[in-house]
Amino acid sequence: MLNIDWKPQRNSSTALYRQIVDYIKEKIGNGEWTVGTRLPVQRELAKIFEVNRSTVIEALDELKADGLIEGRGKKGTVIINNTWSLMASTPAGNWEHYIKNGIQQPNLPTIQIINKLEYSDNIIRLGTGELSPELFPEEMMKNVFSTISNKIKSLGYERPKGLLYLREIISQHIKKFHINASPSSILIVSGSLQALQLISMSILKPGSTVLVEKPSYIKSLHVFESWGTKLKGISMDKDGVKLNEILKNLDNTTSLLYTIPTFNNPTGTIMSQDRRDDLLNLCTRERLPIIEDDAYRELWMEEIPPDTLKSRDKNGIVLYMNTLSKSLAPGMRIGWVIGPEAVIERLGDVKMQTDYGASSISQYAAAEWIKSGLYEAYLKKLRRKLKLRRDITIKILEKYFSDIALWNIPKGSFYIWMRLNSKINMTKLFYRCCKNGILINPGYMYDFNTNYNIRISYSYASIQDLQFGLKKLSDIIRNSHFDLE
């Protein structure tokens, strides 16, 4: 779909339709819109350009007369030529079939829409998995910038595993979680999503199976599947992933277990200490390596969560990943992976072939945040603020949803996993919400089975928006009850 962010100028001496013709000709002339590109339908164009439909028709007629576009009835208007190819024999630059090639699958449509709509001005984001800009520690970040601006003497290509200075600091930092790892067993990544990419590119055999919690964050991504790896969902109870279910699903294609033991995304489940120990025993016995995704650990509210799996892993079967995205700022794009040195070496070698490493500026900033103690100080305050937001959001839910949904009260992280009482069409609900200026993360992004859940995030929207948006969501569900079934 074309992304048109331009409008003709009303106070210009050039007629509106002429401005539109010129704009489209420029796009075609620059090769930005290639032969085969489909224009939005007339009604849509009129809306985008904020003009009457007749103005759009006038413009399109001229472009047709020039031989640049062709109307194909209901299918809309297509670019069939360009100024240059009118002279040449056949149109070139038809990328259509290229876009359909390639190993990496496109994102799910729902996610593509979310990725785009998140940046419209008038949308209320009820599902966004990040901290609100309101919570951003602006002053502390200024401090960090000022320190690193004196520290950075050059910014060359970095070592395969990342800035040694940062790895040394992380090696100290993780002692807090009872993890012992030297800098050479730590890989710096551009966020933990990249860690998952590297793992799937580097050490997973196409055709193998990854066991994941049901529901799980990973379900919303193609990160493993694009590489020919299959996902198998394992159910959970209140203590975490079910061990007998793991055993039942193990076969000789099984390559890994991916788990978020601390504040599972989306359910908020915390794996109990006993379950952790039993899981480690089982996986050690079955030689099933584990990826422990610990992205939300720091975001507890009442009490420190049980120990990391990694801290009790004496056999190097756990690949541990963490990130600053959830606790500090996703825009830093800094995460780390800890594991057996040989695995870390392999991942580092592949990282060098992927992007030559993470931004050194971000790496210096991350190092400074942790080393200075600012990170700890900030986290303390953040926990209080998140708790407040959670409590307010629960109040709002009690007011508007108590008769139409059920939910848990999370002990940390960002999410409330809310289940609607009635079986409505969740895809339709998603689109209906979009139209009404509300962005939700429907449960089907996370689960393997049909479900009637919504992941509500209390970390992102302002309290006012949460208030307004959740009431609206409740209204939409109530009013559309029948035609959404």
Ligand X SMILES: Cc1ncc(COP(=O)(O)O)c(C=O)c1O
Interface contacts to ligand X, rule CB under 6 A:
129, 191-193, 217, 260, 265, 293, 295, 323, 325, 330, 335, 356
Q: Are 177 and 318 in contact (CB under 8 A)?
A: no
Token pair of 351 as six digits: 């990282």
Q: Are 60 and 107 in contact (CB under 8 A)?
A: no
What's the min distance (Å) between Cβ of 216 and ligand X? 8
Binding to a second copy, residues 279-308 (CB under 8 A): 283-285, 287, 289
Binding to a second copy, residues 69-128 (CB under 8 A): 82-85, 88-96, 98-99, 101-104, 106-107, 112, 115-116, 118-119
Q: Which stretch binds a second copy (CB under 8 A): 63-71, 203-211, 370-378, 419-427?
A: 203-211
Task: Please tell me whether residue 125 adopts helix, strand or coil conformation.
Answer: strand
Q: Which stretch binds a second copy (CB under 8 A): 232-240, 345-353, 390-398, 401-409?
A: 345-353
For the chain, the distance separating the N- and C-terminal CA atoms, rounded to the nearest angstrom, is 29
Q: Are 447 and 453 in contact (CB under 8 A)?
A: yes
**Which of residues 283 and 433 has its CB atom nearest to a second copy in the complex?**
283
CA angle (53, 56, 59) in 5-degree steps: 155
CA gap 456, 443 in Å, rounded: 10
Choose from ligand X, a second copy, none: what does 150 bind? Cβ within 5-8 Å by kind.
Answer: a second copy
What's the min distance (Å) between Cβ of 218 and ligand X? 8
Does the protein bind a second copy through residue 27 (CB under 8 A)?
yes
Conformational region of residue 236, where left means phi above 0, alpha means psi within -120 to 50, and beta covers everything else: beta
What's the min distance (Å) between Cβ of 448 and ligand X? 17
- 20, 218, 234, 358: residue in contact with a second copy (rule CB under 8 A): 358
CA gap 217, 229 in Å, rounded: 16
What's the min distance (Å) between Cβ of 107 and a second copy? 5
CA dihedral 463, 466, 469, 471 (to 10 degrees): -100
What's the min distance (Å) between Cβ of 290 and ligand X? 14
Choose from ligand X, a second copy, none: what does 104 bind? Cβ within 5-8 Å by kind.
Answer: a second copy
- 34, 249, 372, 408: residue in contact with a second copy (rule CB under 8 A): 34
Does the protein bind a second copy through residue 406 (CB under 8 A)?
no
Does the protein bind a second copy through residue 158 (CB under 8 A)?
yes
Choose from ligand X, a second copy, none: what does 112 bind? Cβ within 5-8 Å by kind.
Answer: a second copy
Choose from a second copy, ligand X, none: what does 368 bind? Cβ within 5-8 Å by kind.
Answer: none
Task: Please tell me whether residue 13 adopts helix, strand or coil conformation.
Answer: coil
Pairing of strands 318-323, 335-338: antiparallel
Sheet holding 453-457, edge to edge: 405-407, 415-420, 453-457, 441-442
Token pair of 360 as six digits: 């050194």
Q: With CA atoms as reference, report the closest residue to 263 among 215, 295, 303.
A: 295
SS3 sequence of 90-106: CCCCCCHHHHHCCCCCC
CA gap 158, 167 in Å, rounded: 12
Does the protein bind a second copy through residue 10 (CB under 8 A)?
no
Choose from a second copy, ligand X, none: what does 217 bind? Cβ within 5-8 Å by kind.
Answer: ligand X
What's the min distance (Å) between Cβ of 130 and ligand X? 8
Does the protein bind a second copy through residue 410 (CB under 8 A)?
no
**Which of residues 202 and 451 has its CB atom nearest to a second copy in the complex?**
202
What's the min distance (Å) between Cβ of 150 and a second copy? 8
List the beta bridge partners of residue 322: 336
- 40, 71, 76, 330: residue in contact with a second copy (rule CB under 8 A): 330
Cis peptide bond prior to 106, omega within 30° of 0: no
Does the protein bind a second copy through residue 318 (CB under 8 A)?
yes
Binding to a second copy, residues 38-57 (CB under 8 A): none
